[in-house]
Structure 1
C-alpha cells in the first residue's frame, strides 16, 4: 500500500470486461485475471484514471503479431458502434450501482469529491472513434453520458484520420493526418471541453491537432521516441511543441514502447521507465509528465503486473531521487491540474 494516490492516464478494463461478456463488471468487484480489479486498485493506490472504450479488431483479419509491419484494417463500423455503446454502459452501470467504489467524473470537482469519499474517479474515454459518425451525432450523446476524453483514432484508419501502425525503428510520420471530419471532431471537442488524446495519431495527425486545437496537447499513454523508436512514441520535436502549449504525457508501461529494442518482454526492469520519465521531464518540465499505464491492454514489466504493484514504481522514483513533491505531481497532481484546464 502506498500513501501516494495514482491517477492513471489509460486502462483497457472496460474492453476486457466486454470481451469476457462480463457486462455487470462482476470480475472487477470480485476479482479477475488481468491488471485491474477493485481490491488491487485499492491496494496499489489507484484512485482515479481514464477508463477506455475500445472498438475491437477482427482477429481473422489482424496482422501476424510477429510481422514487422503491423497494419490493422479499418474496423467494422456496426461492430464498433455496438462495442462503444456497450462498453460505455458497463462503466455507467458500475458508477450507478457502486458509487462508493467507482464513479464517472465530468469535472475536477467530481474527481476531488470521489477521492475524498474513497471512490475511484473514472474519466470516460473513447480510444478510436469508429463508434461515432462523421456528422458527430453520437458525440453529443456520449458527452451527455460523461465522455470527457477521446482519441480520434486507434492504430488504424477511420473516417477521422490515420493511426500509427505498430512499427519499431522508424518515425511516427507514417501517412496523412486528419480528414475534414477529424478536423471538425477536434474543434467540437474544444468547444465541449473534451480532451483530444494524441496517443495513437500519426505525426501528421499530431500537427493537425496542434494547428486546430487551442487546448493543451496531451498524450494519455505514450513514451519517448528518443529512447524507444516506436511509431507509438513521441519525438523530441513533438514533445517540445507539447511543452510550449502546457501539455502532458502519461507514460505508457508497455514494454514494447519502453525498451530500446522494442521487445514485448515482461522481464524488463523499472529502470527503463525512470529513463523515459527523466527524458520527458527534461522536455516537458515537472508539470508535464504523468502516468498512463495501458493496464489490461499491453505487456507490462512483471514488477508492475497489476494495479497493486504501483507502489513499486513509486519506490523506484524515490530511489532515483525524484523527491516526494515531484513524485506526487507525476502520480496525481499533474493529471488533476491538466484536466482542470480542459474539462473544468
Structure 2
C-alpha cells in the first residue's frame, strides 16, 4: 500500500497483505532454481562457505549469497529448512515488513519507533535456534524491536542487520536505535548501512536527487562512533529502493568507498566496511 502522509510531515504505511506459505514457497523455489541454474552454467557460484567468498575476492567466479527476506517460504514446522540449507541458503530474515508465522515486521513509518508490537512467535524462536545450528545468518532488518530483543536474548550468533540505518539520524521504524546498535556491537555483529533514501534522511522524504552521498557516510560514522567501525558494513538494498543519484547502482559502490575515505575513514577501515567485517561475521556464523 502507498504511504499515507501525516499532517505536518512524515508518513504511515499500512501492513501489506499476508503472503500464504504455499505461494511464497512456490515463488522462492522458482527463484532459487534460477540461481542454481546460473551456477550450473558457470555464471556464478552460490557461496556456501567463507572459502567461496575468498575465492571470488581472489578473482574466482562471482559469488552470490542465497538469502530469504521474510520466511514465509519456510513452513512453521521447519521441515523445509534443511532442504533450503542444502540448496545454499545462508542468510534469512524471519520477516519482511508484515507479520507472519515467525514474528512481526515493522510497518514503514516516519517518524516512528521500531517498537511496534510483539516479538518472535514460538515458531520464530525455533527458527532462530535451528538456523544457528545450521549456520544460517538471522537478518534483523525489518524485524520489530521486541523481535530483535528476542533474537539477542537467545545469544546464538553475532547479530546482523543487513540493510538498516541509524534511528538517531533518521527516525524511521526501519532503523536501529542506539540501544539496538549496542546489542549488535556487544554480540560481535554488523550493521549493513542501507542506501534507501527514506531511511537516510532526517525527514524521511523519498528524494533521490536531494539526498547526497554524504548521507550514507553520516550513518556509517554514527554506527562506527557508537559501537566501532568493525561493526559497519554496506547494506545497499538495490532491489527497488530509491537510492541517492550519486550512487545510482552497483557501479556507484566505488564512489561510496571514496566518500568514506574522504570523510576520514582510513584505507584499512574502508576495506573493513567494504568486505572484511562481513567476512568476519559470516565466518563466525556459517558452518
Report the TM-score range of the alignment, normalised by the length of the smaller protein: over 0.9
1:283 aligns with 2:247: no
Aligned to 2:153: 211
Out of 36, 42, 64, the position equivalent to 1:92 is: 36
1:169 aligns with 2:94: no
Task: Determine helix, strand or coil for the equivalent of 1:302.
Answer: coil
1:264 aligns with 2:206: yes
Task: Determine helix, strand or coil for the equivalent of 2:162.
Answer: strand
Instruction: Note the C-alpha offset of 1:335.
Output: 0.5
Task: Determine helix, strand or coil for the equivalent of 2:65.
Answer: strand
| Cα distance in 1, alignment partners of residues 155 and 75 from structure 2 | 20
1:78 aligns with 2:16: no
1:327-342 matches, within 5 Å, as 327-342=270-285
Task: Determine helix, strand or coil for the equivalent of 1:317.
Answer: helix
TM-score between both structures, scaled by the size of structure 2: 0.95
2:3–2:12 CA contact under 8 A, matched in 1 = no
The more displaced of 75-84 and 258-267 is: 75-84
TM-score between both structures, scaled by the size of structure 1: 0.79
Task: Determine helix, strand or coil for the equivalent of 2:68.
Answer: strand
Aligned to 1:233: 175
1:247–1:284 CA contact under 8 A, matched in 2 = no
1:108 aligns with 2:27: no
The more displaced of 202-211 and 112-121 is: 112-121
| Cα distance in 2, alignment partners of residues 226 and 152 from structure 1 | 25
1:193-228 alpha-carbon deviations (Å, 9 max, x no partner): 110000010000000001124211110110000000
1:19-58 matches, within 5 Å, as none
Task: Determine helix, strand or coil for the equivalent of 1:181.
Answer: helix
1:297-318 alpha-carbon deviations (Å, 9 max, x no partner): 3000011111111111111112
Instruction: Note the C-alpha offset of 1:66.
Output: 4.1
| Cα distance in 2, alignment partners of residues 125 and 283 from structure 1 | 28
Task: Determine helix, strand or coil for the equivalent of 1:238.
Answer: helix
Unaligned runs of at least 5 residues, structure 1: 1-62
Task: Determine helix, strand or coil for the equivalent of 2:128.
Answer: helix
Structure with more contact order per residue of length (Cα contacts < 8 Å, sep ≥ 6): 1
The structure 1 segments of at least 4 consecutive aligned residues displaced by more than 6 Å after TM superposition are: none
Aligned to 1:4: none
Instruction: Note the C-alpha offset of 1:110.
Output: 1.2
Out of 308, 312, 316, the position equivalent to 2:255 is: 312
2:192–2:235 CA contact under 8 A, matched in 1 = yes
Aligned to 1:299: 242
2:198–2:206 CA contact under 8 A, matched in 1 = yes
1:196 aligns with 2:134: no
